[in-house]
Chain A
Amino acid sequence: MHPTWTALALSLKVACWATAIALVLGVAVGFLLARRRFPGRELLDTILTLPMVMPPTVLGYYLLVLLGRQGWIGRNLQDWFGINLIFTWQGAVIAAAIVAFPLVFKPARAAFETVDGRLEDAARVLGVSEAAVFLRVTLPLAWRGILAGALLAFARAMGEFGATLMVAGSIPGRTQTLSIAVYEAVQAGQDDIANTLVLITSAVCIAVLLTAGRLAPGRVGYR
């Protein structure tokens, strides 16, 4: 396969996994923060939003220090399971998932907060279980906001660069995603390759944004 397509395929694989992880966690945490009141709720919200505003290099450094061979998590993963995340595409997924997470969790929380509690109560009165209330009433009412967030998260994960480069490196065919391949091509003066790569990246991002815009016609607010 041509290196450009390998990079695109890898970017899509990383972005899909990262979005899936961010989606599951984002919905769970968004629901929790929207519905439960507990001390430190807003502080938790702030901490979980940090990856959105923090420079990716800061995040990359945190991850390298934690997940690296000498890092607390990395050492334990290595000792217990023989897993090493540095320089792997799974490492890139973790970096991208953390960066993308707030983009799901924020709109998910907002969407859950706007769901009318009386509709859920009506379902409960009719004898529906709590899990079914969530799956058949709450989630369907909030899904547009969540999905729009997930698409933005996908676009962000596709474009992840700083943290990914630090954690996963730039190994062609293994961890060299589109955005990193662009950087490498420019560094090496291969403008023709860079041109192809940026055009592909731009096309994918435009497609994702158009889809996101269709799903959320100005309804989803960030809180």
Chain B
Amino acid sequence: MPANLNRRFLSAVLLFAASVASQAAEITVSAAASLTDAFKEIAQGYEAAHPGSKVLLNFGASGALLQQMAKGAPVDVFASADQETMDAAVAQKLVAPRERVNFVRNTLVLVVPADSTLAIKRLDDLRQPTVTRLAVGNPASVPAGRYTRQALETAGLWAPLGPKMIMTQNVRQALDYVARGETEAGFVYGSDAVAFKGKVKVAMEVPLATPVSYPIAATAGAAQTAESRRFIAWVQAPAAQAVLARYGFMKP
């Protein structure tokens, strides 16, 4: 019966539409790839402490997350791995400057596979021919890649090491390539090395002119401003900071 079919189709469409419309206390958090493990745990704690609240996590390279928001992705909270990406978000009016706050710090490290026998003490050691491939986040969208470029340019190594570089889509992909032994070394955050302890080891900490500092902010288009601010406050509170510390992050 066509009428019956029509009704069924209509109710299916309505059901789909209803499931797309955002829930009362549901916020979407776009966070830098390096925050993956820590934020999963923090969001769980937040949901447990605030019944009825739901945190949807979206991870990726900070630059890629910025592009998603610029194209209209409905994001309530944005946590970037560098100031530059948040600056761009402010410049594009995606984030109000007063909402932004630094909540955690990190280090940039050079990692090698856990079973590696390479002797790398200085950045200059990466010139040796035994290092054929170097995993680096793509500086165009990955903050870890930008920090790396900064450090290598200062050392005069960015161009000489260019042919060895494997550019990755986010910092976790660089970490994964090193862990699988596909590259002899890679630049990741200190927290990433902690997350992959046993698969990679830190060869050296990379000296940086600008510290790796993570800003977080409620977005200008946030549908749930109050809930978003509550989540940001939660991230800065001692319980969440303890989680971040456990994953290798440092106080802001």
Looking at the assembled complex, report how far the CB atom of B129 sits from the nearest CB atom of chain A, in whole angstroms: 15
Q: Given the complex of chains A and B, what is the CA–CA distance between A16 and B180 in angstroms?
A: 30
Question: CB within 8 Å of A: which of B26-85?
Answer: 61, 63-64, 66-67, 70
Residue pair A169, B181 in contact (C-beta under 8 Å): no
Q: Contact between B167 and A170 (Cβ–Cβ < 8 Å)? A: yes
- A188 touching B63, Cβ below 8 Å: yes
Asked if A45 is at the interface (CB within 8 A of a chain B CB), the reply is no
Q: In the complex, A169 Cα to B180 Cα: how many Å?
A: 14
Docked-complex contact B181 and A69, CB < 8 angstroms: yes
Q: Does A68 sit within 8 A of B, measured CB to CB?
A: yes
A169 to B168, CA, bound (A): 7
Selected contact of B182 from candidates A86, A170, A183, CB within 8 Å: A86
Contact between A70 and B141, CB atoms less than 8 A apart = no
**In the assembled complex, A184 has its CB within 8 A of some CB on chain B:** yes
Say how far A89's CB is from chain B's closest CB, in angstroms.
Answer: 14
Let me know if B167 and A87 touch, CB within 8 A. Answer: no
A183 to B64, CA, bound (A): 10
Give chain A residues whose Cβ lies under 8 Å from the Cβ of B12.
Answer: none
- A-B pair number, CB within 8 angstroms: 49
A119 within 8 A of B: no
Closest chain-B Cβ to A84's Cβ sits at a distance in Å of 9
Nearest Cβ on chain A to B72's Cβ, whole angstroms: 14
- Closest B residue to A64 using CB positions: B180
Residue of B63, B168, B169, B180 near A189 (CB, 8 A) is B63
Nearest-neighbour CB distance to chain A for B171, whole angstroms, equals 13
Asked whether, in the complex, the Cβ of B70 is within 8 Å of the Cβ of A170, the reply is no
Total A residues in contact with B, Cβ cutoff 8 Å: 18
Query: Shortest beta-carbon distance, B11 to chain A, in Å?
Result: 30
- Chain B nearest CB: distance from A164 CB in Å? 13
A22-57 interface mask toward B, CB cutoff 8 Å, 1 = contact, 0 = none? Answer: 000000000000000000000000000000000000
- The one of A165, A183, A187 in contact with B63, judged by C-beta atoms closer than 8 angstroms, is A187
B133 within 8 A of A: yes
Cβ of B138 within 8 Å of any chain A Cβ, yes or no, is yes
Q: How far is the CA of A38 from the CA of B180 in the complex (A)?
A: 40
B194-207 interface bits toward A, Cβ cutoff 8 Å, 1 = contact, 0 = none: 00000000000000
In Å, the complex CA distance between A181 and B182 comes to 22
> A58 within 8 Å of B by Cβ?
no
Q: B182 contacts A69, CB within 8 Å?
A: yes
The reply on B166 being an interface residue by CB < 8 A is: yes
Any B CB within 8 A of the CB of A171: yes
**Chain B nearest CB: distance from A9 CB in Å?**
19
Q: B237 an interface residue at 8 Å Cβ cutoff?
A: no
Does A207 have its Cβ within 8 Å of any Cβ on chain B?
A: no
Q: Is the CB of A68 within 8 A of B64?
A: no
Q: Which of A69, A184, A186 contacts B138 (CB 8 A)?
A: A184
- Which residue of chain B has its CB nearest to the CB of A74? B182
Q: In the complex the two chains form, is A70's CB within 8 Å of B169's CB?
A: no
Asked if B140 is at the interface (CB within 8 A of a chain A CB), the reply is yes
**Are A87's CB and B180's CB within 8 A?**
no
Interface core residue of A68, A172, A186, A187 (most chain B CB under 10 Å): A187
* Inter-chain contacts of A70 with B (CB < 8 A): 180-181
A interface residues, Cβ below 8 angstroms from B? 64, 68-70, 86-87, 165, 169-172, 183-184, 186-190
**10 closest A-B pairs by CB:** A188-B140, A187-B141, A187-B64, A69-B181, A188-B141, A189-B67, A86-B182, A169-B166, A70-B181, A68-B180
Which residues of chain B have a CB within 8 Å of any CB of chain A?
A: 61, 63-64, 66-67, 70, 133, 138, 140-141, 166-169, 180-182
A to B CB contacts below 8 Å, 15 in the list: A64-B182, A68-B180, A68-B182, A69-B181, A86-B182, A87-B133, A165-B169, A170-B168, A171-B167, A187-B61, A187-B63, A187-B64, A188-B141, A189-B63, A190-B140
Extra 8 A-B pairs, beta carbons < 8 Å, given A69-B180, A183-B169 = A68-B181, A68-B182, A87-B133, A165-B169, A169-B167, A169-B168, A170-B138, A188-B141
